[in-house]
Structure 1
Amino acid sequence: MAIIPWKPLSDLDRFFEEDDNWLFPVVFKETALPPLNLYEEGDKLIAELSVPGMNPEQININIENGLLKVSGETEKREEEKKKNYWRQEVKQQSFQRVIRLPATIEEDKVEATYDKGVLKIVMPKKATIKAKEKKIAIKPGKATKVK
């Protein structure tokens, strides 16, 4: 069993590191950040988000300037005045996750699936072009004086 050291400000660090849009007011609405796994599998980046209780139609996925933006909002539930709630935790909820991708991807080939509350986004990486190295020959010439 691995021992994980306690970091008292880890949630605050995560807020500023992962959410590139933290200045926008949308973060300050009542939101919940779904857990996210981002990993590499061969020539693909894969993001998995846990978003139980949502329909795929309620989820938006955008990729722009190396950022993966996933947002969603559950349908508004009408309050039932007849019920005498002891506890009411299930309500309308929205989320937005913005993650900087560690590689350039083929945006036109991104695919997403939703199964049993898990949203899986498969993003093929763009092939990197290796820079060619070219040796530059130095020609003999007349030296000039620097003033």
Structure 2
Amino acid sequence: MALIKRNPTQEMTRWSGGFPMFRGFESLRRDMNRLFDEFFRGDILADESFFGRDWTPAVDVVENNDAYILKAELPGISKDDVKITLENNVLTIRGEKKNEMEKKEGNFHRVERSYGMFERSFTIPGTIKVNDIDAQYKDGVLTLTLPKAEEAKPKLIDVKVK
């Protein structure tokens, strides 16, 4: 029997490959997070579309020294069906992924894609240059670049030793 020697300096990292049998749990986790976010924000009952909402776009938010960059996957959505607002440092993306089944073309044997209204809101932690926000929509991906104002950018301070 061969023994494998353990390396005490080797760190454990989270495997991001996922297991196909747990994909449904990831969707459930996202839905539960959205439910609690909206409940504690206080508008769960004010938004009628909450109970009929079946689809939430995946979003990445990245911060670098100069800007916040947000990428949202919006496949099958026209740019005219997306509205972006910024108010009190809260960026909101709203829209609708329209149901193609309403066209009644043929008999559907399987329907797996989700449709409906969506809304995602993000609090921007710093001050941004509102007039310089850039929005691009290409191949179903919305990319928002929110440049940081000078006072929000990190500053390098030299420490002098005496």
Alignment of 1:1-147 (within 5 A): 2-3=14-15, 10-11=29-30, 12-13=32-33, 15-17=35-37, 20=41, 22-23=43-44, 24-25=46-47, 26-75=49-98, 77=100, 78-80=102-104, 83-90=106-113, 92-128=115-151
Deviations, residues 1-60 of structure 1 (Å, cap 9, x unaligned): 7336x9998533454348846523232232411111001122110100000111111110
1:108 counterpart letter in structure 2: N
- In 2, distance between residues paired with 1:46 and 1:21? 27
Q: Conserved in 1, the CA contact under 8 Å of 2:55 and 2:115? A: no
2:149 counterpart letter in structure 1: K
- In 2, distance between residues paired with 1:94 and 1:107? 26
1:96 counterpart letter in structure 2: E
Q: SS state of the match for residue 128, structure 1?
A: helix
- In 1, distance between residues paired with 2:103 and 2:139? 27
Q: SS state of the match for residue 105, structure 1?
A: coil
Q: Look at both structures and tell me which one has the larger radius of gyration over its CA atoms.
A: 1
Q: Conserved in 2, the CA contact under 8 Å of 1:21 and 1:98? A: no
Structure 1 stretches of 5 or more lacking a match? 130-147
| Cα distance, 1:76–1:35 mapped onto 2, change above 3 Å | closer
- In 1, distance between residues paired with 2:128 and 2:38? 18
Task: Compute the TM-score of the two structures, normalised by the length of structure 2.
Answer: 0.64
Q: SS state of the match for residue 99, structure 1?
A: strand
| Cα distance, 1:127–1:17 mapped onto 2, change above 3 Å | farther
Q: Identity rate of aligned residues, in percent?
A: 26
Q: Conserved in 2, the CA contact under 8 Å of 1:18 and 1:100? A: no
| Structure with more helix by fraction | 2
- In 1, distance between residues paired with 2:143 and 2:114? 24
Q: Conserved in 2, the CA contact under 8 Å of 1:38 and 1:47? A: yes
CA RMSD after TM alignment: 3.1
If asked which structure has higher relative contact order (CA below 8 Å, sep 6+), I would say 1
Q: Displacement of 1:79 after TM fit?
A: 3.2
Q: SS state of the match for residue 151, structure 2?
A: coil
| Cα distance, 1:64–1:91 mapped onto 2, change above 3 Å | same
Q: Conserved in 1, the CA contact under 8 Å of 2:54 and 2:115? A: no
Deviations, residues 36-90 of structure 1 (Å, cap 9, x unaligned): 100112211010000011111111000001111001113454331x622212345
- In 1, distance between residues paired with 2:93 and 2:148? 18
Task: Compute the TM-score of the two structures, normalised by the length of structure 1.
Answer: 0.69
Structure 2 stretches of 5 or more lacking a match? 1-12, 17-21, 153-162
| Number of residue pairs matched by the alignment | 127
- In 1, distance between residues paired with 2:98 and 2:34? 28
